[in-house]
Amino acid sequence: MISKREKSLGNCFVSQPKVRRISDVLLASALVGLLSGCASRPTNVLLPVADTSPSASKVEMLVATTRSRSSNPAQMYTGERGLAPAFAEITVSIPPPSVRKVGEVAWPKKLPSNPATDFAVVQAQELTLQTAKGWLSASVRKSPDHSVLVFIHGFNNRFEDAVYRFAQIAKDTGTQSVPILVTWPSRGSALAYGYDRESTNYTRNALELLFQYLARDPQIKEVSILAHSMGNWLALEGLRQMAIRNGGLPAKFKNVMLAAPDVDVDVFRTQIADMGKQHPQFTLFVSQDDRALKVSRRVWGDIPRLGSIDPEQAPYKEELANNNITVIDLTKIKSGDRLHHGKFASSPQIVQLIGARMAGGQTLTDNRIGLGDTIIHATTGAAA
């Protein structure tokens, strides 16, 4: 027979998944409420179409993913977890400025996509590890500064969401760095917050292996990283693991841009400490009106999320300065994002700022961008 004590202990273990499920439900309910009314659009848009628009621009990217392959070529990869990292090259056609605003992803209203008016895939091919290395090597040789830009997306992103958003960022920033998309198994659902978070942990080792390869490749002279939302957790954990294993981070890792990070501020302190003093130049994009992070804070025990702090308040002001972390406060920036969670990519001012500073090799600062009162001045620590 089972004793009362054993039953009590059993209930303790059973209660943890229940708490997780309750948290997921609360978060999902809040996010679904915030997202209600959003227009629907076609899915499975990645089947290549003919390149019929001479005025369209092209973004070629390397994809590294821990997602499971899909049997549907128009989807390519699912939201489930793959047994091993997979690779692909994708070319996205982007319509001209006459039909698309900077910061906007022109999703097709119907299929097949029309390159004259829509984002459209014109080439997509899965790669082996060796052919992926070859693609990267050839692309880096063509880059003026032999640099790469790694993008790590956030929560609630299907594979196609990540591909098109990164294509938009690469185009609108005007970066000449080789685009590398790191996409992890997100189910693309507000109901899958817990699954998505665990999927970032599932991907940590694979991301570190990518970072280690970029660090060793003598052709690559500079690495920049841009992460959004939950993707910041993955980026920071990958960098932390690499720093612990190697005794520090390589000098070629120049810029790490943390956009609306869904990261516990207390945990962030430990991650930065583990990276050591010689870490990359960090730029933190925050917005105190970020509605998604307000919901996330409720789920995570009411601990502030890094992406919604007030950088002028203690203890953040001093800590950020001590760690040479630049802060761009986007609270007063207007965007079409109802959650105020994607301003870094959807605001023309900000996405172009990112590109200009990356191209110029300058530290991102909000008091040097010439946007008047549209951006709140925040504490910055000058990079060494």
For tokens 């097949």, the residue is 112
CA torsion sign for 102, 113, 88, 189 is positive
Confidence check: pLDDT of 198 > 50: yes
Higher pLDDT, 130 or 303: 130
Largest CA distance in the chain: 77
Q: Where are the beta strands (DSSP E) in 40-158?
A: 57-69, 77-94, 120-127, 147-152
Task: Say if CB 375 and CB 329 are below 8 A apart.
Answer: yes
For 225-277, the three-class secondary structure string (H helix, E strand, C coil) is EEEECCHHHHHHHHHHHHHHHHCCCCCCEEEEEEECCCCEHHHHHHHHHHHCC
Region 50-63 average pLDDT: 96
Cα 164 off chain centre by: 12
DSSP single-letter state for residue 47: S
For tokens 């920036």, the residue is 333
Confidence check: pLDDT of 246 > 50: yes
pLDDT at 106: 96
Question: To 5 degrees, how large is the angle CA 289–CA 231–CA 210?
Answer: 155
pLDDT tens digits, 203-225: 999 999 999 999 999 999 999 99
Burial class from Cβ neighbours inside 10 Å (0-12, 13-18, 19+) for residue 377 reads middle
The amino acid sitting at 294 is K
Helix (H) or strand (E) holding 43: none
Class (C level, CATH) for 57-374: alpha beta
How far apart, in whole angstroms, are the C-alpha atoms of residue 138 and residue 88? Answer: 15
Q: How confident is the model at residue 164 (pLDDT cuts 50, 70, 90)?
A: very high
Which pairing describes strands 222-228 and 178-183: parallel, antiparallel, or unpaired? Answer: unpaired
The percentage of the chain sitting over the pLDDT mark of 90, rounded to a whole number, equals 69
How far apart, in whole angstroms, are the C-alpha atoms of residue 172 and residue 104? Answer: 9
pLDDT at 29: 53
pTM for this entry? 0.86
- What are the structural domain ranges in the chain? 1-38, 57-374
Q: Which residues contact 103 (CB under 8 A, 6 or more apart)?
A: 168, 172, 335, 345, 346, 347, 348, 351
SS3 155: coil
pLDDT tens digits, 4-21: 444 443 344 334 444 455
The amino acid sitting at 333 is I
Which pairing describes strands 57-69 and 77-94: parallel, antiparallel, or unpaired? Answer: antiparallel
pLDDT at 143: 95
pLDDT at 382: 29
What order do you get walking across the sheet with 77-94 strand by strand?
120-127, 77-94, 57-69, 178-183, 147-152, 222-228, 253-259, 281-286, 325-329
Confidence check: pLDDT of 25 > 60: no
Tell me the β-bridge partners of 183.
Answer: 65
* Omega cis (within 30) before 250: no
Q: How confident is the prediction for the chain on average, in pLDDT?
A: 85
pLDDT tens digits, 81-118: 999 999 999 999 999 999 999 999 999 999 999 999 99
Question: What is the C-alpha R_g of the chain?
Answer: 21
Confidence check: pLDDT of 50 > 50: yes
Confidence check: pLDDT of 267 > 90: yes
Question: To 5 degrees, how large is the angle CA 303–CA 318–CA 295?
Answer: 20
For the chain, the first-to-last Cα distance in angstroms comes to 67
Question: To 5 degrees, how large is the angle CA 374–CA 377–CA 381?
Answer: 140
